[in-house]
Amino acid sequence: MKKTFSITALAASSSGNAYYIKCGSTEMLIDAGISAKGICDKLRLIGTDISNIKAIFVTHEHVDHVKGLAVLSKKCTAPIHMPAPSANEYLSKYPQTHNVVAHDVGYSCDVGGIKVTSFFTSHDSCACVGYTFETEDDKFGIATDMGYIHKAAVEALTSCRSVVLESNYDEKKLECGSYPPLLKDRIRSNMGHLSNYDCAAFARYLAERGTKNFMLGHLSEENNDPEIALNITSRALKDFGDVVIKVASKKDVTFFI
């Protein structure tokens, strides 16, 4: 039997992010940026339980990615993998969190026969990474919270069948929105977030190299709209008729593949 990935977004927005991955009997989480109760409730909604989670992989220490970690660490024994600078910062605030595994960027480990590898992304946190998950039959990658598309993300994601990419803001909505100038500059900077057009261009690059499934994640609640983001990436991929494009919901469970 082929070992392929099933991906579900439990939450995905600028206020909270969490993804569920299943491959065979192995179940994992990426980020825990909503309450532990919210994560546990959504896991039950899709037919599983927090006790089944074998590992949690955290991209960085910002609250929209770690909000539920401390409580989750008391509900399951899964190791919580996190880049070392982020782990140090996080543990200085939440020392009661169990099972944190600090790692270097580029770290790889095996979880139930799945090779998990982190790669650098550029963001204004102590550290920030994306992850790839690979078996002999399939490869999935996720990259959110990145101000620009670093070559490490290009190299890591080019061989993936399925990806979650950040599509954080619409340029016009950000420019005309209520955010102060300094925050707008931070979002647009190389340590900020990807725009819809940045995401679409990267998606096209990956589609040209074989990626088939795209989920747009980490949409800003104030500076973006799911329909706008979907339309921009759909136009960029109009020449690739066999691709799947979905937008992860802010609050509702979104099944990807």
Supply the pTM of this predicted model.
Answer: 0.97
Residue 107 located in a structural domain:
yes
Look-up of token digits 């139930």: 112
CATH code of 101's domain: 3.60.15.10
Residue 93 located in a structural domain:
yes
Q: What is the pLDDT of residue 251?
A: 84
- Residue from 127, 163, 118 nearest 145 by CA: 127
Residue 179 located in a structural domain:
yes
- Residue from 162, 165, 155 nearest 200 by CA: 165
Tell me the average pLDDT across 186-199. 98
Residue 51 located in a structural domain:
yes
Answer yes or no: is pLDDT of 118 > 80: yes
Residue type at 211?
T
Question: For the segment 124-157, what is each residue's pLDDT rounded down to a tens digit?
Answer: 999 999 999 999 999 999 999 999 999 999 999 9
| Domain range enclosing 152 | 6-255
Q: Which residues contact 182 (CB under 8 A, 6 or more apart)?
A: none
3-state secondary structure of 228: helix
Residue 123 located in a structural domain:
yes
Q: Which residues contact 235 (CB under 8 A, 6 or more apart)?
A: 200
Question: For the segment 10-38, what is each residue's pLDDT rounded down to a tens digit?
Answer: 999 989 999 999 999 999 999 999 999 99
Residue type at 220?
S
Count up the domains in the chain and report the number: 1
Spatial distance between the Cα atoms of 233 and 239, rounded to a whole number of angstroms: 11
Q: What is the pLDDT of residue 152?
A: 98
Look-up of token digits 């909503």: 34
Spatial distance between the Cα atoms of 35 and 68, rounded to a whole number of angstroms: 4
Answer yes or no: is pLDDT of 85 > 90: yes
Can you read off the two tokens belonging to residue 80?
Answer: 């919580």
Q: What is the pLDDT of residue 148?
A: 98
Answer yes or no: is pLDDT of 1 > 90: no
Spatial distance between the Cα atoms of 224 and 247, rounded to a whole number of angstroms: 12
Residue 216 located in a structural domain:
yes
Residue 60 located in a structural domain:
yes
The H helix count followed by the E strand count for the chain is 9, 14
Residue 1 located in a structural domain:
no
Q: How is 76-144 classified by DSSP, letter by letter? A: ----EEEEHHHHHHHHHH-TT---EEEE-TT-EEEETTEEEEEEE---SSS--EEEEEE-SS-EEEEE-
Average pLDDT, the chain: 97
Residue 171's pLDDT band (boundaries 50, 70, 90)? very high
